Amino acid sequence: MATIIIPTPLRKFTNSQSRVIIAGNNIKECINELTLNFPDLKKNLIDEHGQLRTFVNIFVGDDDIRNLQKENTAVKPDSIISIIPAIAGGSGATDNITFSKEELSRYNRHIIIPDFGLDAQKKLKAAKVLVIGSGGLGSPLLLYLAAAGVGNIGIVDFDVVDDSNLQRQVLFGVSEIGKPKVEAAKARLESLNPYINISIYNTQLTSKNAMELISQYDVVADGTDNFPTRYLVNDACVIACKPNIYASIFQFEGQVSVFNYTDAKGVTGPNYRDLYPTPPPPGLVPNCAEGGVLGVLPGIIGSLQANEVIKVITGVGETLSGRFFVFDALTFETRTLKISKQQNSRAIKELIDYEQFCGMKAVEKKIKEITVEEFVKWQETGEDIQVIDVREPEEYQQVNIGALLIPLATVSERADEITRSKKVVVHCKMGGRSAKAIRELEEKFGFENLYNLKGGITAVLQER
């Protein structure tokens, strides 16, 4: 009986089980048995032609089945099968690099490491690293790169600090709420290390500016939270011949790898498209805003990402090029899986329309939100509002607050039941599905009076 490790995003289809024992002689039999036991899982693993979806990779042990016998790969009773879905180097010359007395004192703990030393510290000071995103992953990543002495750091982000960020984005504090993230980040990093240069780009990374920005740096670190930008970063790095230090997080699970890295022998490793040639369908994999993330997880994964950046710059140690690291915070299990370049991968020669390619917006329009406290105040003061519940009927039967039930899948066909003449509060269990419903209604029907209840009915019940 083989063991299949279920990733965090798919555990809602396996009754929260992280491991499932399955009988089968090969991968195909095991997956068939798995989807028979958990029918709702099938659409996430198998396409309409009965083939494994392209945004899902399967490993036996630490080997990618695409490099073995694919779905016919044999499975032994003690085999560990990992399902890995897609989740949202170099340095300059160091001859002229010098350090002040204060810098030598600051970096002393690096310099005294036998396998690191002054030469590696010089490489850090000479390096130019572009960090895409300064949020959950970008916060610990930037803090540790700055503290380590990376001499030139660029930050791309066009968002502003929100109070909801502070649960995990440790780069910011209450006093920065409302400020552009890049400006707040620059101030924080300069206070941490005044001996480095910080360049900020308060703009969205797009196909129009990606090559110009990325070409100025030696290493790119991807801290984005959506698939269009992730594929854009990958393709731009491939075209510009830059290593792409990748990390991703969702709920309790994190991933780290190094893509498009050329080693000392001149061999370039796999890129993101070798692992995931195409993105998952829109809406299948929620982002952190919709699915949530454990606050400490970005700190863990972002620190590992910083570690890979430092290794790529200095040449110290073995990078994660050709390997894919997976961390499960719930079970505290880690796996390092082998990945390789795919012979049938299409050549990446130009940037494309990534929103069209992924079938989703890189940046979702911000929706209006209301806290439980504000919601209660509206009710107590007699504010004329309509309340919509977009959960499923069985959830509504278990507990409800008297709202009009319009399940998420039916909001478009029942849009005429939603008033436009007064404020409408939309809620679900935690706030993710209601946010989707609001975006759908605003984009399709032009609603301007919808408010998402932060924390959903769960927050309401906790307040009572």
DSSP 176-230: GTTSBHHHHHHHHHHHH-TTSEEEEE-S---TTTHHHHHTT-SEEEE---SHHHH
Q: Give 40: exposed, middle or buried? Use CB within 10 Å, 0-12, 13-18, 19+.
A: exposed
Q: How far apart are CA 249 and CA 247, in angstroms?
A: 7
Is 241 tagged catalytic? Answer: no
* H or E stretch at 456: helix 456-463
CA–CA separation, 242 and 436 (whole Å) = 35
Identity of residue 351: L
- Known catalytic residue: 428? yes
Q: Tokens in use for 35?
A: 């989807």
Minimal CA–CA distance to 147: which of 176, 119, 169, 121?
A: 121
Query: Residue 10, SS3?
Result: helix
- On the 0-12 / 13-18 / 19+ scale of CB atoms within 10 A, 239 is middle
Residue 433 is classified by DSSP as H
The amino acid at residue 280 is P
Please name the residues in contact with 56: beta carbons below 8 A apart, sequence gap of 6 or more. Answer: 44, 45, 83, 84, 85, 86
How far apart are the C-alpha atoms of 99 and 118, rounded to whole Å? 10
Backbone angles phi, psi at 444, to 5 degrees: -85, -35
Spatial CB neighbours of 159, under 8 Å, sequence gap ≥ 6:
135, 180, 181
Indicate which residue of 30, 237, 288, 358 is catalytic. Answer: 288
Both tokens of residue 436? 């989707």
Provide the 10 A C-beta neighbour count for residue 205: 25
Closest CA to 8 of 68, 67, 84: 84
CA distance 127 to 117: 16
84 contact partners, CB below 8 Å, separation of at least 6 = 7, 56, 57, 58, 59, 255, 324, 326, 337
Residue with tokens 């560990």: 80
Give the helix, strand, coil percentages of the chain, each rounded to 5: 40, 20, 40
Q: Which of 30, 237, 358, 428 is catalytic?
A: 428
Enter the DSSP assignment of 278: S
Residues annotated as part of the active site: 288, 428
